[in-house]
Structure 1
Amino acid sequence: MLVKKTVCTRNMLLSAALLAAAIGLSQIQVAQAATAKATAAAQQTIATTAKVNDFTSPQWLKGSWRQSAGLSIPATAANKAAFRKGAQIRTADGQIRTIKVIYFSGAHMSVMLSGATLNASKNGHPKTISALGTTPVAGVPPPATSGNQAASSSAHSTAINNYTNNDWLNGVWRKSAGFSIPSSSANRSAFKVGSSVKLADGQARKINAVYVSGKNMSVMLSGAALSGKLGYPNKLFSATSSSAPVAPAAPSKPATPAPGPVTSQPATGSSMTTALNAFNGGDFVNGVYNTSKFVGISVKATAENKAAFHKGAKIRFFGGEVRTIKLIYHSGGNMTVMVDGGAINGKAVGYPRTVSVSSTSFSNTSPSVDSTPAAGNAAPANPINLVGINLAGAEFGTDVRLPGVYLKQYIYPGEADFKRYAERNLKLVRLPFRWERIQPRVNGELNSAELRRMLTTLDHAKKYNMQVILDMHNYYRYYGKMIGTNEVPVSAFADAWRRIAQQVANHPAVYGYGLMNEPHTTNGKWPAAALAAAKSIRSVDAKNWVVVAGDRWSSAFHWQSYNTQLVKDAWMRDPSNNLMFEAHLYFDKDYSGYYTNRYEQYDPMIGVVRAKPFVEWLSRYRLRGFIGEHGAPDFSPSAVVAMDNLLKYLGQNCIPSTYWAAGPWWGDYALSLDVKSGKPRPQLPILQKHAANKSCGAVGPLR
């Protein structure tokens, strides 16, 4: 059957990506079937003939699969009927082969055969293959069933959700027997009360209860609690039971697992948002398909996505661009959505970003913001900058004798750094510096050269309308001596801040004074030191924020255990004093931000969980908060997703944050937004997305 040249061209363009996405292709086991002679084949009835597609790519040569025996042909109704598993085909050079597996990919089908890899020059495009009738061919054995081919009566199976937190271990409920799985329509049909399930270790259990929570469902089973070893990445198998289930005691209802970041179900006529696939290679860049003739995206082929993404629907990319869907290609568990218009930059709008889809249209082309205003629906007249960065460099060089040499051991960020981030709409800056450099002697004058560098840096910020929090990056120490000792009395700490405030208080770029970065092991003396420094600043500057960090490295998660005394003095709770309390938050196991385990997987809501103790403390005392440091490494997509959810939560509470880190001299540091290699930073689009949130008119949480 002939196909148009334009279809063949599309096949060539799409083949590598679509077939790579087809599940199980790499598991094809080439059967060792005998090849019949051409004379025997001539006696066989031909059911239909199909022209081989013109695919040539790293995986294909003239429509012939390079890795094992297989040909690609159009998926017409006639071809679907004739080319089936177990049927026999005749190649252009007269060989008789048995069809082992069929893979459908949009308008095309891959026919995988028994025997050795085919000679593309003899059997590929523009040759044809013929599907033979049912009369047996001499010398060709009947097709053998693949050992990993499921029988028609086999149970439905599903992936187990990858949840690990206080209630879940690898998607297994810790308190009683149960699993968390996606609440797809197939799973809801298969996993019902009274049905039986088979676990990865062969156990059979009865389903006692099912709890559906958004896009996930908890399947509670009879028997004792299960081992987390049976959870993710194993599968759960289900088969409907014909016998009445045993009636055990009702299991405890599990807490709702953290929702996944992938999709949100839209109401009729509304839009929904879904994550792009992390596809790279061939014609894909970060899940964006881009060739000279076709552009599109790859997303999961979930039931929700299948319903939402259809021809004629609109999709909106990060950044606001709206396109119309022209074609859909389904390939295993994924779908390629082809759209109108010109080239799409996958590095700018691809994974880990999301796209929105609507059956009608979008009210505007501005990027969607996943944050809800904390109070009221009207946009504030003067919205605050909710998302910013740490522009590092002036605190560098602590491994040498302080103060160190400027431009050799440390540097201040330059005008280009401020310009770059102003253009990215990240206009809130935390500027780390060292106390020893700005004031080399206790109670002494400020160093004039260092003060000029700081003021010049503030001038750069002013030029680009940016706000700066000056961060004394000293960990509650001065030349290694703790504040509150005879060598470094609290009064000296207060004196340093008074002198700095006198020099910068009227500078338009100054937004606040970060009293101290990550105080730790302070022997309970930090509250008194913070109070003294804050009052010292207030004697000079009554308007700009005084930013008060917490003890225990300012950990948001541990805040309530270490900082109850921080607001013991009523002065620290007085809203007229313009105080903002600063916490830090990282996702790794030890809360440090070093991310030493490159293979650690992070719960998507871990950032929210770690932020809540701090936010709840602020709400209880009606105080205002700031996350001065948070960060995700570029090698961990799950950490980037967790950061996305964290920023959404902070935005809902009107709590600003600054990402760690940006600025010169970072080399290829995994958390940095500026790296020597210049490779794309997956953290950046998430920050920009939430920086677009202009729903807050004041620092929160607002209650």
Structure 2
Amino acid sequence: MKSLALFATLLAVPGALSQASEYAQCGGIGWTGATACQSPFVCTELNSYYSQCLPGSPGATSSSASSTISSSSAPTPTPSGSLPRLGGVNTAGYDFSAATDGSFVDNSVSPPVSQYSHFASQGANLFRIPFAWSEMQPTLGGPLNQSFLSRYDATVNAALATGGYVIVDVHNYARLNGQIIGQGGPTNDQFASLWSLLAAHYASQSHVIFGVMNEPHDVPDLGAWATSVQAAVNAIRSAGATSQAILIPGSSWASAQALPTEAGPYLLKVTDPIGGTSKLLFDVHKYLDSDNSGTHADCVTNNVDVLTTLVNWLQQNGNRQAILSETGGGNTASCETDLGQELAYVKQAFPTLVGFSVWAAGAFDSTYILSVSPNPDGSDQPLWVDAVKPNLP
């Protein structure tokens, strides 16, 4: 098993190796380390910010990146967003009430607040805290549940106290009780009502990021979904929350792979009432197991090809930005390698990819297949130590 901790250490020391090892970084804007690769690997440009040692032959371009090399030598302009490089973890628990059809069962659990300082002490500065719509707002168009909001606030405030950022995430899959927002289910006005109240509540918290909706899936009309997203964005800004970034999700479970060809072209038309698009970021997910479900302990890909395609699409369409708000794997050798390579790519693709949050800690214990929750003795899972921690900001 390759040690990702050692890999990260070598990356951090310019010139530590005369030749970069397999899958290591070998170039990109600002890179000062080795630019040649150990045979038979070839330094392949994936984007302006990141070149990587990939299988190939001297003088050849890796087929996985051939479509990403620009015909122009001019560097891509830097996106104008104000978020720093971010990296951290989902802290699950409140979302245990939400099923993938948007139905609700009252069994949420508060994530342990001690985890925020634990992870922050290692460099994490992003925490995604999902919740079920029906628990936050029991009646469509009605007031927020103040009892639940008090619990949720305690968690959000513990995370914010670390100095990091918090994604407030509605974990309802673009639907409520099986019916899709704006397409036979809750109306866009009812969806906007939720966001108006949440945004007013967090309007003074500049380190809150609004996650419009977790993992829309099986949405028949993507143009209509973009209209629903626009309603949420308008509601957030109208409520006075003008300093915060907003994450807008695509289709197919917020797939990073599907965004450029499915919902992305529609979501590009979503506008921000405060002007520009620098605070409208795409919310994408991508797992590393055989069916991209995040339900298997082993990983089969590092997703660099998929993320390279996404980065190119973002840069070619207004130089937009995205956050990989869900990714992860099991505590296995394959995932320690593949996830480490994926997150190294995300880190180097900043600012087009602002950062990541892995799935998941919080109320999951160490037996959960994708757990990065600390052990009872305070030690960390191998995946966190070897793959995540070296790639935190």
**TM-score interval for Structure 1 and Structure 2 normalised by the shorter chain:** 0.7 to 0.9
Which among 580, 584, 587 is matched to residue 281 of structure 2?
Answer: 580
Structure 2 residue 112 is the aligned partner of structure 1 residue 256: no
Taking the aligned partners of 1:444 and 1:427, their CA distance within structure 2 comes to 33
Taking the aligned partners of 1:425 and 1:674, their CA distance within structure 2 comes to 16
Q: Which amino acid counterpart does residue 562 of structure 1 have in structure 2?
A: E
Structure 2 residue 373 is the aligned partner of structure 1 residue 660: no
Q: How does 1:676-691 map to 2 (within 5 A)?
A: 680-685=380-385, 686-691=387-392
Q: 1:396 deviation in Å?
A: 0.6
The percent of aligned pairs where both chains have the same amino acid is 26
Q: Which amino acid counterpart does residue 531 of structure 1 have in structure 2?
A: Q
Structure 2 residue 215 is the aligned partner of structure 1 residue 518: yes
Q: Which amino acid counterpart does residue 492 of structure 1 have in structure 2?
A: Q
**Cα-to-partner distance string for 1:360-417 (whole Å, 9 max, x where unaligned):** xxxxxxxxxxxxx9989xxxxx982421111111101346996544xxx211223212
Q: 1:666 deviation in Å?
A: 3.4
Q: Find the counterpart in structure 1 of residue 89 from structure 2.
A: 389
- Higher RCO (Cα < 8 Å, 6 or more apart): 2
Taking the aligned partners of 2:147 and 2:89, their CA distance within structure 1 comes to 25
Q: How does 1:600-639 map to 2 (within 5 A)?
A: 602-603=300-301, 606-621=302-317, 622-635=319-332, 637-639=333-335
Taking the aligned partners of 1:217 and 1:665, their CA distance within structure 2 comes to 41
Q: Is the 8 A contact 1:556 1:613 kept in 2?
A: no
More helix by share: 2
Q: 1:578 deviation in Å?
A: 1.4
Which among 455, 462, 465 is matched to residue 160 of structure 2?
Answer: 462
Q: 1:459 deviation in Å?
A: 1.9
Cα 1:675–1:487 change in 2 (3 A) is same
Q: Which amino acid counterpart does residue 307 of structure 2 have in structure 1?
A: A
Q: How does 1:383-422 map to 2 (within 5 A)?
A: 384-398=84-98, 403-405=104-106, 409-422=107-120
- Describe the SS at the equivalent of 2:261: helix
Structure 2 residue 44 is the aligned partner of structure 1 residue 183: no
Q: Is the 8 A contact 1:436 1:479 kept in 2?
A: no
Q: How does 1:492-507 map to 2 (within 5 A)?
A: 492-507=190-205
Q: Which amino acid counterpart does residue 199 of structure 2 have in structure 1?
A: A
Q: 1:553 deviation in Å?
A: 0.8
Q: How does 1:182-581 map to 2 (within 5 A)?
A: 183=39, 255-256=61-62, 384-398=84-98, 403-405=104-106, 409-507=107-205, 510-524=207-221, 525-540=224-239, 541-569=241-269, 571=271, 575=276, 578-581=279-282
Cα 1:522–1:648 change in 2 (3 A) is same
Taking the aligned partners of 1:642 and 1:684, their CA distance within structure 2 comes to 13
Q: Which amino acid counterpart does residue 315 of structure 2 have in structure 1?
A: S
Q: Is the 8 A contact 1:415 1:460 kept in 2?
A: yes
Q: TM-score, normalized by length of structure 1?
A: 0.42
Cα 1:680–1:614 change in 2 (3 A) is same
Q: Which amino acid counterpart does residue 457 of structure 1 have in structure 2?
A: T
Cα 1:487–1:689 change in 2 (3 A) is closer
Q: Is the 8 A contact 1:417 1:663 kept in 2?
A: yes
Q: Is the 8 A contact 1:513 1:545 kept in 2?
A: yes
Q: 1:462 deviation in Å?
A: 2.9
Q: Is the 8 A contact 1:432 1:473 kept in 2?
A: yes
Q: Is the 8 A contact 2:98 2:171 kept in 1?
A: no
**Cα-to-partner distance string for 1:44-99 (whole Å, 9 max, x where unaligned):** xxxxxxxxxxxxxxxxxxxxxxxxxxxxxxxxxxxxxxxxxxxxxxxxxxxxxxxx
Q: Find the counterpart in structure 2 of residue 645 from structure 1.
A: 341
Taking the aligned partners of 2:179 and 2:197, their CA distance within structure 1 comes to 20
| CA root-mean-square deviation | 3.3
Q: Find the counterpart in structure 2 of residue 591 from structure 1.
A: 292
Taking the aligned partners of 1:641 and 1:258, their CA distance within structure 2 comes to 18
Q: Which structure 1 residue ranges, 5 or more long, are not aligned?
A: 1-161, 164-181, 185-212, 220-252, 260-372, 377-381, 694-703
Taking the aligned partners of 1:670 and 1:680, their CA distance within structure 2 comes to 15
Taking the aligned partners of 2:272 and 2:130, their CA distance within structure 1 comes to 24
Structure number, greater radius of gyration: 1
Taking the aligned partners of 1:215 and 1:477, their CA distance within structure 2 comes to 41
**Cα-to-partner distance string for 1:608-652 (whole Å, 9 max, x where unaligned):** 1121222122111211111111102112x2222222222222122
- Describe the SS at the equivalent of 1:575: coil
Q: Which amino acid counterpart does residue 616 of structure 1 have in structure 2?
A: N
Cα 1:183–1:417 change in 2 (3 A) is closer
Q: Is the 8 A contact 1:374 1:653 kept in 2?
A: no
More strand by share: 1
Taking the aligned partners of 1:533 and 1:610, their CA distance within structure 2 comes to 28
Q: TM-score, normalized by length of structure 2?
A: 0.73
Q: 1:433 deviation in Å?
A: 0.7
Taking the aligned partners of 1:532 and 1:385, their CA distance within structure 2 comes to 28
Cα 1:215–1:431 change in 2 (3 A) is closer
Q: Which amino acid counterpart does residue 393 of structure 1 have in structure 2?
A: G
**Cα-to-partner distance string for 1:446-503 (whole Å, 9 max, x where unaligned):** 1110111121112212322221010101000113321114441111111110011111
Q: Find the counterpart in structure 2 of residue 367 from structure 1.
A: none
Taking the aligned partners of 2:86 and 2:310, their CA distance within structure 1 comes to 17
Q: Which amino acid counterpart does residue 640 of structure 1 have in structure 2?
A: E
Q: 1:585 deviation in Å?
A: 0.9
